Structure 1
Amino acid sequence: MTDLVHEGGTGGEPAATWVVGPGTGWRVEWATDGLITGSGKAATGHADWVRSAATTVVDGRAVAITGADDEAVLVWDLATGERIGAALPARGSVWTVATEIVDGRPVALVADPSALVQSWDLAEGRPLASLAGGAWAAATGVVNGRPLVLIGRQNVPRLSMWDPATGEVVGDLVSDPQVGRIGAVVAVATAVVDGHSEAVTLHDDSTVRAWSLTERLYQGQVAPPTGGNSQRVSLAVAVVSGRLVAVTGTWDGQVQVWDVATCTEVTGRAPLTGHTGPVWALAATVIDPLVITAGDDRTVRVWDMAARRQVGSDLVFPSEVTAVTMASDGRLVVGVGGDIAVLAPHPHARAR
């Protein structure tokens, strides 16, 4: 058996190839056969780079959903790594997958940049609605009790609000005309703060902007434009001590934290440092807020946002990491090339 997982012991490839184990605070639950071969148990991953990942629960079974450049969306049993059903079709690279509960049922959102946004009933494995035109970025949220999808398109500097159950376009969110032109939306993240639905967007001019979904209002610029090696390439949001923060990753490995209400960078506390190349993927949890950072340097880091400390040590993979997400039970889903790995925290893991 060729095992690229280094558990602090012997065998397989050098430790630098994939470093996960008791010393890191994380253990591998399963991985696809491009990462662990010869066991006869691992499923085959995607045929091309994984670009997006999400989790939900279907009929009491925790699942992961992954989208990739191979024009397919795969559904996995989060506990065992078993593939569930046939691949959900897509029309191009799947840059966004997301999940929401609609009328009590788990629904997956699938978006590619050029062709189509689709919603799927995961319990029945059937499509619900579709929207032509595709999306570079999308996120789900609940606005005044109604599940909606926020859609950002490459050539349109606004957000569209779309109903994943009916396919209705509910409306658009546009900025204050006095602001002038804003860059096209390339990433969207949503959160609920004090009962109000909020959205944060990253634009192609590298600005970060805030929106009230509940009031359907543009709230302002959170982070200024930038370029070159400081270009922002990824976005996540978290609620820390009751305040909404935006987390951005840059081309040169910076991870910045922004207070959305004050539109200022959060400084003076321990920074989220360590990456040496583009931070391609960010994800955040709501309860006990954690932020996961990953990227071109092949590492994944998990951060306790309240304490501003790293949880465990660096997780090192065989190639760059382009997708991450965390399930509600703390399991970590990582996209590495065309492969998937699911990690669980060791029982005695502590923030460093």
Structure 2
Amino acid sequence: MTDPIHEEVAGDEPAATRLAGAGMGWRVEWATSGLIGAAVRAAGHADWVRSAATAVVNGRAVAVTGGDDEVVLVWDLATGERMGDALPARGSVWAVVTAMVDGRPVAVVADPSTLVQSWDLTGRRPLAGLVGGAWTAATAVVDGRSVVLTGGSAPRLQMWDPVTGESLGDLVGDPSVGRVGAVGAVVTAAVDGHPKAITLHDDSTVHVWDLTERRHEGRVLSPTGGSRQRVSLTVAVVDGRLVAVTGSWDGRIQVRDVATRTGAMSRAPLTAHTGPVWAVAAAVVDGRPLVVTGGDDRTVRVWDLVSHRQVGPDLVFPSEVTAVTMAPDGRLVVGFGGDIAVLAPPPA
């Protein structure tokens, strides 16, 4: 069946735009907009891109993107070819995350009010759903089992099986540490085999949870308000230690040691953006922990979290950056407006 919203229309391509920073290390491999030097493939989303992830499907590296047009698109990461029909959602896709579950690639798609749906990306079929929607989602392996964590307007995390939909219990905040509000973002990582979840809440606090013991461990960052409100979150492991990275409304980027609750004061700070940092993502490439930041100033930066030095130049896009992710080989996926671009990293 033809997908008329996203079908490429001859002669209806946007005017070519030069991506500032490309050619000085980063190389544009393909884009759905008219970026100079990029192979233009199918049209992008019909509305803002809100989330992006990568996966491997039938041996091919893919990008998975979701947006306000209520669909999820799957792209060949190397060529920009659209792979199959759009996966439908029931509302704006605020989160899409991927994982290997029992040897098959699975995507979890969350809209804020209606449904969280897991999909088998190989067979292009739905697996399980969670009625009620979610603002955010993440995956983890707990006691050898793949799980999904979702959060939203309630002050708790829901844990469930992405294949069967079985509830594996809720994680509820410890009232002794004060209010734990609505969950705006959740990310996961494992340190020494112990899976943890880090959450960002509506009062701008950041909290840490032990997933094996199903318990709240404490607050990592205290409340903030006004221009310092935190709006994005990711997590990385640096020198064996878990660190949370947040982006704020005023462009501030914070790096916080989760165990000690301290900042990386001995290292140079990550240079702030000039507006809200809507998107942050972490990856390990060639053994290096990296973090990507993008935001309202249309700029994307990539940072080495060990040296706190920028990898390549600033990348300036034609519109606000609302989604970023990085593949294990270092290729960068950026959502800006309704478009997608994939860039190859600078040579080592």
Q: TM-score, normalised by structure 2?
A: 0.93
Contact 1:157-1:185 within 8 A present in 2 as well: yes
Task: Give the root-mean-square deviation of aligned CA atoms.
Answer: 1.9
Q: How does 1:173-192 map to 2 (within 5 A)?
A: 173-192=171-190
The one-letter code of the counterpart of 2:345 is P
Contact 2:321-2:336 within 8 A present in 1 as well: yes
> Which position in structure 1 is the counterpart of 2:191?
193
C-alpha displacement at 1:267, in angstroms?
Answer: 1.7
> Which position in structure 2 is the counterpart of 1:9?
none
CA distance in 1 between partners of 2:280 and 2:175 (Å): 31
> Which position in structure 1 is the counterpart of 2:210?
212
Contact 1:234-1:282 within 8 A present in 2 as well: yes
Contact 2:160-2:167 within 8 A present in 1 as well: yes
> Which position in structure 2 is the counterpart of 1:145?
144
- Name the SS of the counterpart of 2:227 in structure 1: helix
> Which position in structure 2 is the counterpart of 1:21?
22
Call closer, same or farther: CA 1:248–1:217 in 2, change over 3 Å. same
What percentage of aligned pairs have identical amino acids? 70
> Which position in structure 1 is the counterpart of 2:120?
121
The one-letter code of the counterpart of 1:184 is A
CA distance in 1 between partners of 2:319 and 2:271 (Å): 20
- Name the SS of the counterpart of 1:114 in structure 2: coil
CA distance in 1 between partners of 2:36 and 2:19 (Å): 14
CA distance in 1 between partners of 2:203 and 2:39 (Å): 47
Call closer, same or farther: CA 1:263–1:37 in 2, change over 3 Å. closer
- Name the SS of the counterpart of 2:250 in structure 1: coil
CA distance in 1 between partners of 2:174 and 2:342 (Å): 43
- Name the SS of the counterpart of 1:273 in structure 2: coil
C-alpha displacement at 1:22, in angstroms?
Answer: 2.8
C-alpha displacement at 1:265, in angstroms?
Answer: 2.3
CA distance in 2 between partners of 1:306 and 1:81 (Å): 32
- Name the SS of the counterpart of 1:291 in structure 2: strand
Call closer, same or farther: CA 1:4–1:158 in 2, change over 3 Å. same
Call closer, same or farther: CA 1:104–1:111 in 2, change over 3 Å. same
- Name the SS of the counterpart of 1:92 in structure 2: coil
- Name the SS of the counterpart of 1:110 in structure 2: strand
What number of residue pairs does the alignment pair up?
Answer: 336
CA distance in 1 between partners of 2:12 and 2:166 (Å): 50
> Which position in structure 1 is the counterpart of 2:248?
250
Q: How does 1:181-330 map to 2 (within 5 A)?
A: 181-286=179-284, 287-330=287-330
C-alpha displacement at 1:4, in angstroms?
Answer: 8.9
Contact 2:207-2:219 within 8 A present in 1 as well: yes
The one-letter code of the counterpart of 2:23 is P
Call closer, same or farther: CA 1:146–1:35 in 2, change over 3 Å. same
CA distance in 2 between partners of 1:35 and 1:268 (Å): 42
The one-letter code of the counterpart of 1:45 is G
Contact 1:2-1:38 within 8 A present in 2 as well: no
C-alpha displacement at 1:253, in angstroms?
Answer: 0.3
The one-letter code of the counterpart of 1:104 is G
Call closer, same or farther: CA 1:236–1:41 in 2, change over 3 Å. closer
Call closer, same or farther: CA 1:299–1:40 in 2, change over 3 Å. closer
Call closer, same or farther: CA 1:343–1:3 in 2, change over 3 Å. farther
Q: Where does structure 1 lack aligned partners over 5 or more consecutive residues?
A: 6-11
> Which position in structure 2 is the counterpart of 1:343?
343
C-alpha displacement at 1:224, in angstroms?
Answer: 0.2
C-alpha displacement at 1:263, in angstroms?
Answer: 1.6
CA distance in 2 between partners of 1:175 and 1:41 (Å): 47
Deviates most, 145-154 or 260-269: 260-269
CA distance in 2 between partners of 1:213 and 1:50 (Å): 30
Contact 2:19-2:36 within 8 A present in 1 as well: no
Q: Give yes or no for the alignment of 1:67 onto 2:66.
A: yes
Call closer, same or farther: CA 1:55–1:38 in 2, change over 3 Å. closer
> Which position in structure 2 is the counterpart of 1:8?
none
Call closer, same or farther: CA 1:289–1:38 in 2, change over 3 Å. closer
Q: How does 1:53-64 map to 2 (within 5 A)?
A: 53-64=52-63
- Name the SS of the counterpart of 2:155 in structure 1: strand
- Name the SS of the counterpart of 2:288 in structure 1: coil
CA distance in 1 between partners of 2:271 and 2:102 (Å): 41
- Name the SS of the counterpart of 1:178 in structure 2: helix
CA distance in 1 between partners of 2:347 and 2:13 (Å): 23
C-alpha displacement at 1:281, in angstroms?
Answer: 0.1
The one-letter code of the counterpart of 1:50 is V
Call closer, same or farther: CA 1:35–1:175 in 2, change over 3 Å. same
The one-letter code of the counterpart of 1:29 is E
C-alpha displacement at 1:85, in angstroms?
Answer: 0.5
CA distance in 1 between partners of 2:331 and 2:210 (Å): 30
CA distance in 2 between partners of 1:226 and 1:40 (Å): 43
C-alpha displacement at 1:37, in angstroms?
Answer: 8.6
C-alpha displacement at 1:40, in angstroms?
Answer: 8.4
The one-letter code of the counterpart of 1:288 is R
Q: TM-score, normalised by structure 1?
A: 0.92
CA distance in 1 between partners of 2:169 and 2:56 (Å): 29
